[in-house]
Amino acid sequence: MDHSRRKLMIGLGAGAMIATTGVAGTSIIQTIEIDGKRYAMIHDESLCIGCEACVIACKETNNVPDSATRLEIIRSGPVGEFPDIRYSFFRKSCQHCENPPCVHVCPTGASYIDKKTGIVDVNPDRCVGCQYCIAACPYKVRYIDPVTKSADKCDFCRKSKLANGELPSCVEACPKQALIFGDLNDPQSDINIALKNKAVYRYKKYLGTKPKMFRVPDKFNEVQS
Binding region for ligand SF4 (CB under 6 A): 48-54, 73, 89, 94-97, 100-102, 105-106, 108, 110-111, 120, 122, 127-133, 137, 139, 141-142, 151, 153, 173-174, 176, 178-179, 209
Q: Quick one: 42 or 195, whose CB is closer to ligand SF4?
A: 42
Q: How far apart are CA 28 and CA 16, in angstroms?
A: 14
Q: Quick one: 181 or 183, whose CB is closer to ligand SF4?
A: 181
Residue 192 Cβ vs ligand SF4, minimum distance, rounded to whole Å: 20
Q: Quick one: 133 or 195, whose CB is closer to ligand SF4?
A: 133
Q: Quick one: 132 or 195, whose CB is closer to ligand SF4?
A: 132
Q: Quick one: 72 or 185, whose CB is closer to ligand SF4?
A: 72
Pair 129, 122: CB distance under 8 Å: no
Residue 61 Cβ vs ligand SF4, minimum distance, rounded to whole Å: 13
Residue 139 Cβ vs ligand SF4, minimum distance, rounded to whole Å: 4
- Among 28, 77, 19, CA closest to 49: 77
- Among 213, 126, 131, CA closest to 168: 213
Residue 185 Cβ vs ligand SF4, minimum distance, rounded to whole Å: 18
- Residue-wise DSSP of 118-171: --EEE-TTT-----HHHHH-TT---EE-TTT-SEE---TTTTTTGGGT---HHH
Residue 72 Cβ vs ligand SF4, minimum distance, rounded to whole Å: 10
Which residues on adjacent β-strands are paired with residue 53? none
Residue 64 Cβ vs ligand SF4, minimum distance, rounded to whole Å: 15
Q: Quick one: 61 or 209, whose CB is closer to ligand SF4?
A: 209
Pair 217, 90: CB distance under 8 Å: no
61-84 core/surface letters (b: 16 or more CB in 10 A; e: else): bbebeeeebbbebeeeeeeeeeee
Q: How far apart are CA 56 and CA 60, in angstroms?
A: 6
